[in-house]
Structure 1
Amino acid sequence: MSQIHLVSWNVNGIRAMIKKDFIKDVKEMNPDVLCLQETKGQPEDVKTALQLLPEYQVAVNSSKARKGYSGTAILSKEKPLEVFYDMGIEEHDQEGRVIAAEFEKFFVVTVYTPNSGEGMKRLDYRETWDEAFKEYIISLEEKKPVIICGDLNVAHTEIDIARAKENYNRASGYTQTEIDGLDALLNEGYIDTFRLKHPDEVKYSWWNYKYRARERNVGWRIDYFLVSEKLKDQVEEAHIYNEYLGSDHCPVGLKLNS
């Protein structure tokens, strides 16, 4: 049976990332589909930075509101049937946060979910975003199954965050509002693939640059692969690749039998 390997990575700035081991790391992981978040560049800058990966088709979505902020990309060895940018909602389409690539058997949607911000300044906005994103995914699912990946900016349960009690309802990314937003998506039948394969494993995908958090493994699991219920039986493996450095996030991966 053939297998597809997908990787998602919040790179925290692609132009800085390619000066590190990013190209070597991607070639080592060798994904069929690579989804990036927080590319922080205009389309031409991101495409130029990714020229050292000529085997991939590249789709880029950049922030219109602020240059050098946010942004997403999907790289795929197989050319997508079609690529869709944003959700079609003006309020949510200014920061380059969503790309959907349609393939023969499924959609791959990568997302950089808005952070609720210091002091929860964007928590109300985040709540409306989560609802809109859920409805967008449901609309795609009507056509074919959906694979969602990216930085969802929420630790789902206590096992997904090193210091759960101290952070619950006090830190952006671990408020009940944000947890409810992810629950609403999972309740539509989406599967958290890492928890499907590793129900009790403590593993993180993001560490604060301050306080040497990665060195001490005081982290959060906020990067995910979620799949449609229809694809659940095809999930072979879900990975968190802690060994790859260069960003405050590490890559996460999914192997799907096709």
Structure 2
Amino acid sequence: MKLRIFSWNVNGIRAISKKNVFEWLDEYKPNILALQEIKATEEQIPKLFEYFYTNRIVNSGRLKNQSGVLTYSNIDFVSNDFCENIDDRLEGRIIEHNIKDVCIFNVYIPNGKASKERLQYKLEFYEKLLYHSSDLIKKGKSVIICGDFNTAHKDIDLKQTKILNRSGFTEKEREYLEKFFELGFIDSYRYIHGSKKNSYTWWSYRSKGREKNEGWRIDYILVSDDLKDKIIDAFILNEVFGSDHCPIGIEIKL
């Protein structure tokens, strides 16, 4: 079975639903659409894709008009979990979907910019997600993690004219993200496209980074090592506007 899995930090599902920016769905037709930072309760989410998706799973969390993750799917999951062992502050940052022997995560990693305390929370979130993923792999599960990681992995993943040692690109944050690759996870985009430059998924509104393509690649779809040879293609849809992020996706054979 071929699946298309797409991920997008929409920076507000209610705001973006008014911008008519989902035409790309008709072309790519993702079986699973994972959205982050929806900033809405389940009741506030507009009816958008009911014509195509039979399932809608929402984790709004306890923070009003902040965070929140939402997954649309036209395949049935065996189970869904909000992983409160990871998102222990209930901020609406994760959903784990299970399809037989495959676990798919929709994640919105915390931003550590606000304070040292938030940075520590971000690193702890990474650590807990890594431990949980490792445990699933040990149990024989295949794992796919998609979403906004709020960290650029390598130098190539951000515009070099920008300041490097800042939130999202500090050595400590990169070190924690690197642990996923040490565990055996594969960066699906780099697996397909290698060292392709100027491949970004987030741009600053303030500096008009989108117009100058001065961005960061902080959105990823990671797959466990056993799935790497099943990746058919990987996408960054940087021509899609509506958010300060753009959609990313993979086509994979499961």
Give your verdict on TM over 0.5. Answer: yes
Structure 2 regions of 5+ residues with no counterpart?
A: none
1:255 aligns with 251
SS of 1:215's equivalent in the other structure is: helix
1:67 aligns with 64
1:122 aligns with 118
CA distance in 2, matches of 1:144, 1:54: 31
CA distance in 2, matches of 1:255, 1:74: 17
Work out whether residues 74 and 101 of structure 1, in 8 Å CA contact, stay in contact via their aligned partners in 2. Answer: no
CA distance in 1, matches of 2:28, 2:50: 13
Shift of 1:75: 1.0
User: Which TM-score applies when normalising by structure 1?
Assistant: 0.92
Moved more, 26-35 or 223-232: 26-35
Distance 1:69 1:237, change over 3 A: same
Q: Deviations over 1:16-73 (max 9, x none)?
A: 1111123423233210110010010012222xx1444333110000121x21100001
CA distance in 2, matches of 1:119, 1:148: 26
Shift of 1:117: 1.6
SS of 1:214's equivalent in the other structure is: helix
User: Which TM-score applies when normalising by structure 2?
Assistant: 0.93
1:140 aligns with 136
CA distance in 1, matches of 2:148, 2:44: 21
1:155-170 alignment, distance < 5 Å: 155-163=152-160, 166-169=162-165
Shift of 1:143: 4.6
Shift of 1:130: 1.1
* Structure 1 residue identity aligned to 2:77: P
2:214 to 214, 218, 234: 218
Q: Does 2:102 match 1:106?
A: yes
1:184 aligns with 179
2:168 aligns with 173
Distance 1:29 1:53, change over 3 A: farther
Shift of 1:3: 1.6
Work out whether residues 101 and 140 of structure 2, in 8 Å CA contact, stay in contact via their aligned partners in 1. Answer: no
Shift of 1:198: 1.3
RMSD of Structure 2 on Structure 1 (CA): 1.6
* Structure 2 residue identity aligned to 1:63: G
2:14 aligns with 15
CA distance in 1, matches of 2:243, 2:234: 20
- How many residue pairs match? The answer is 251
1:150 aligns with 147
Shift of 1:120: 5.0
Q: Does 2:238 match 1:242?
A: yes
* Structure 2 residue identity aligned to 1:58: R
Work out whether residues 203 and 214 of structure 2, in 8 Å CA contact, stay in contact via their aligned partners in 1. Answer: yes
2:188 aligns with 193
Q: Does 2:68 match 1:76?
A: no
1:96 aligns with 92
CA distance in 1, matches of 2:221, 2:70: 16
Distance 1:29 1:240, change over 3 A: same
CA distance in 2, matches of 1:16, 1:152: 22
Work out whether residues 221 and 250 of structure 2, in 8 Å CA contact, stay in contact via their aligned partners in 1. Answer: yes
CA distance in 1, matches of 2:93, 2:189: 23
* 4+ residue segments displaced more than 6 Å: none
Distance 1:184 1:9, change over 3 A: same
Percent identity of equivalent pairs: 37
Moved more, 234-243 or 114-123: 114-123
